[in-house]
Structure 1
């Protein structure tokens, strides 16, 4: 049957394994702190080969809790990228710390390493480094070395890169601590909001545990300030049943991405950096004709998205004076094409054909 429309995302149907654990949780009636929460903590810890997993309500909470656990405060400075999701900068400002925006490298949308070194000052306490669109920052090992040399905490934002790797090393294992999102659209997704903090540093893990659970060292024993940020049992059950399929789904994403690479490589647009460890949470192209192309594809009933239409460094809410020209350029030229394990090769080929027709016309 010929394809004549492609949705950006298709999160159904649910696997039988997912339906089964949902039914089990509902029947048992344990909705918080049950066996599946412990099962997910253990399995995700084993998958990443990290000692501690602290489940949270979402990734934004994870980032804020990490900063609080590292005792980031007013007057401190935290470096982050000028081009990413809002949370990477907002959590810094919420704590009263100063944001130091770094421009990006347009080849991979990650922090430009020369700018990173320029931004470091005596006030710099941490770096929040997102791995955008499923690609581990290609220079993460050098960045880790720079952070260690300058006594800066390296916080990896892995919200878009579950299972991504560089030289065989998994994302979330390069820095001091990492934050993950399990929003339903992620490579490893729940059925609602959920997140986690991952580290092998015992002191950081203990602090994060306290901050995430009302500052309790035990039930009703509040030893510090804290907040309520917990993953519920239903989401933990779903994630436990989804995790065994993560690598298979990422392989499917890579296969679909190759259809784009093979079909679009001769056109007047910029394709995303390709690497062995890329897991293609998004397939983000760049073209000066972005808005025109998006409108054309919509006429072909092909849904696309823009990640992101405004650079963080240009948002008035952050009151930033730094000029990040590459981040600004990215915000005006990026377009995310459909790519998800539920998509078929026929759908991706239809998108590719339509993009080629646009540039031909």
Structure 2
């Protein structure tokens, strides 16, 4: 069966580098917050063009700790999109904040400046924007300028957009801070969980560094409230250091696959994702079709995996128990009914890409 992502293929491709990094850590005797973590943090910050990178245990912790470092407190209103899998909303709820949901553009599927303005006018103290599916938000610079002028903190969620570039800058360097995930399927993924907060602010960086380790200002001296134990281990940092130099190459391969899909899939009942060149790193290849369920069933019958990222808008999740029953974001809700992800990852072979194209072309809507 053709998978959405094949981690076995990635591991096989980089087996020598993985083995070398593991041996390096074992030989060093360091397992937590050692030289490998420092090395990767410095390298990733340099790659992005940012001043600071502070690694944490996972991408969701990165969002939560970044928000706390930005001064978000219980009861504050935090604006976020509702089509990105509930991850930001989960972090907002963990702090005790109130999520305010923004709609997205139907074509790009990411937030717009107009929606950010609407949320801020409605009382949002902090805004979280998501570079979804690998697409840098086209208006991110305008959004950053607006939030700075209004004194509203801006956090970029870059979990799906490692390496995307717009206006000559990589995503993660426009807002006050940015969160990254290194979950194994990401464009830059570890072989386990991992995350990071990136910022140009020394103050925010220092706070995140304390918040990821009990709130210590010095060993066993707890200074900051709301902290936790959230550390990237040396093994994952070492592996990420081996993968980082291949990130742009992997993104280029994703583009090659995406171009084949765009050029060779001949179906009038679906719309291909937007995004070209540096602004889109093709983390996911998400098509749209009002007959999505029919296509997914057809692909399943041909042993081609597909997925819906994501099927339930955050405000409709059962956890809210109808708290947001009156919420209605037209584009978000329509997208949830029409989107479908096709396999797209760097280790995908040309024959596998051809099989997906053939399967989609064989669909009769």
TM-score w.r.t. structure 2 length? Answer: 0.94
Indicate whether 1:310 and 2:312 are aligned.
Answer: yes
Deviations 1:23-52 (A, max 9, x none): 222333321122211110111111011111
The alpha carbon displacement at 1:265 in A equals 5.7
**Structure 2 residue aligned with 1:64:** 64
* Partner in structure 2 of residue 276 of structure 1: 277
Aligned to 2:255: 254
Does residue 6 (structure 1) correspond to residue 2 (structure 2)? The answer is: yes
1:350 aligns with 2:355: yes
Larger deviation: 244-253 or 162-171? 162-171
CA offsets, 1:171-205, max 9 Å, x none? 10111100000000000010111000000111111
Q: Paired residue for 1:148?
A: 148
* Aligned-pair CA distance for 1:270: 1.1
Equivalent residue, structure 2, for 1:294: 296
- 2:105 pairs with 1:124: no
Q: In structure 1, what is the Cα distance between the partners aligned to 2:28 and 2:144?
A: 45
Alignment check: 8 A CA contact 2:267 2:361 kept: no
| More deviation, 317-326/328-337 | 317-326
What secondary structure does 2:8 align onto?
Answer: coil
In structure 1, how many angstroms separate the alpha carbons of the residues matched to 2:266 and 2:283? 20
Task: Tell me if the contact between 2:82 and 2:101 (Cα under 8 Å) persists in the aligned partners.
Answer: yes
Deviation of 1:122 after TM superposition, in Å, equals: 6.7
8 Å CA contact retained: 2:103, 2:330? yes
The DSSP-based 3-state class of the residue aligned with 1:46 is helix
Cα pair 2:59 2:181 within 8 Å, conserved: yes
Superposed displacement of residue 95, structure 1: 1.5
Write out per-residue CA displacement over residues 93-116 of structure 1, whole angstroms, 9 at most, x where no aligned residue.
222221110111111111133232
CA distance in 2, matches of 1:223, 1:206: 12
Q: Secondary structure at the match of 1:149?
A: helix
Task: Work out the CA distance in 2 between the residues paired with 1:118 and 1:44.
Answer: 34
TM-score by length of 1: 0.95
Instruction: Report which stretch shifted further, 258-267 or 341-350.
Output: 258-267
1:1-361 to structure 2, matched below 5 A, reads 5-13=1-9, 14=11, 15=14, 16-121=16-121, 123-225=123-225, 226-264=227-265, 266-277=267-278, 278-318=280-320, 319-320=323-324, 321-359=326-364
Q: Secondary structure at the match of 1:347?
A: helix
Cα deviation, residue 266, structure 1: 5.0
SS of structure 2 residue aligned to 1:138 = coil
Contact 1:61–1:229 (Cα < 8 Å) also in 2 = yes
Paired residues of 2:306 and 2:342 also in contact (CA < 8 A): yes
Distance in 1 (alpha carbons) for counterparts of 2:110 and 2:266: 22
Give the RMSD, CA atoms, in angstroms: 1.5
**1:264: how far off?**
2.4
Which deviates further from its counterpart, 132-141 or 264-273? 264-273
